[in-house]
Amino acid sequence: MSVFEVKQGTSPVILGFPHTGTDVPADIWERLDDNGRLLADTDWHIHHLYDGLLENQTSVRATFHRYVLDANRDPSGTSLYPGQNTTGLIPETDFDGKAIWKTGAEPTEADIAKRLREYHAPYHAALAAEIERVKAIHGVVVLYDCHSIRSHIPFLFDGKLPDFNIGTDMGKTCDPAIEQATVAIASAATGYDSILNGRFKGGWTTRRYGRPETGVHAIQMELAQSTHLATEAPPFAYDDEEADNLRIHLKSILTRIEEIALGLKR
């Protein structure tokens, strides 16, 4: 079974989905406790939310769950957000700080090394290959990394998270026009709020690949799950009406990013 799915297109925009997978091998599943088996920290339905918003879009999706290994973390184990609560390569807890592993079955350094080889490396090899393929077509590529998270998680942040959380590592990972256009559309979206480089400034994927000087741009969008889920608790059902409203704005963002990318041809 492949640990990733690739859909190839010819648009200069690539969608990354590191956290929508729910596959957990049986030997790892047996080590999770009842709380861990809820898989609560999934980016629920995000690949469905973005499906078909751009013609000929390329996407790279991890099929494995982030409790197996987090594909959006630095393989060295370096924290993305020093001094703040976060989760690592193999999370020890969920986003509420609660244990997800049975006592005595917690991940080891050997587990991390093995899963880096079997999950992290193949996913990023596939992503890097698509970046090179699309760049060869256009001379430029924009990686738009797709994420979602519950809107209230006291362990990670205070209060309610904005609906649109745009991350560019303080403007380092993409051309200013891409950042500005995304902010403008999100800010103008009636009924939604947004922030640039707030609690989520872009994960390892965005920071790793975003090299505007080479023609490779990257931007992360972290959506509050209240924008498209009926409830941010099990069964994490998709809300078609809310999602359809949100898709209008996401389509506008992706379409504008695509137009800008084509204008940035190197």
What count of other Cβ atoms lies within 10 Å of the Cβ of residue 116? 17
Tens-digit pLDDT profile for residues 88-127: 899 999 999 999 999 999 999 999 999 999 999 999 999 9
Cα-Cα-Cα-Cα torsion 34, 37, 42, 45, nearest 10 degrees, comes to: -120
Please state whether the predicted TM-score (pTM) of the whole model is above 0.85.
yes
* Predicted confidence pLDDT, tens digits, the chain (266 residues): 699 999 999 999 999 999 999 999 999 999 999 999 999 999 999 999 999 999 999 999 999 999 999 999 999 887 666 666 567 899 999 999 999 999 999 999 999 999 999 999 999 999 999 999 999 999 999 999 999 999 999 999 999 999 999 999 999 999 999 999 999 999 999 999 999 999 999 999 999 999 999 999 999 999 999 999 999 999 999 999 999 999 999 999 999 999 999 998 65
* CATH number of the structural domain 4-263: 3.40.630.40
Place of tokens 């047996």: 30
Give the 3-state secondary structure of residue 88: coil
What is residue 88's predicted lDDT score, i.e. its pLDDT?
A: 80
Who contacts 131 (Cβ-Cβ below 8 Å, separation ≥6)? 14, 141, 143, 209, 216
88 closest CA partner among 102, 67, 62: 67
d(CA 42, CA 33): 16
Classify residue 233 as left (phi > 0), alpha (psi -120 to 50) or beta.
beta
What is residue 264's predicted lDDT score, i.e. its pLDDT?
A: 87
Give the 3-state secondary structure of residue 166: strand
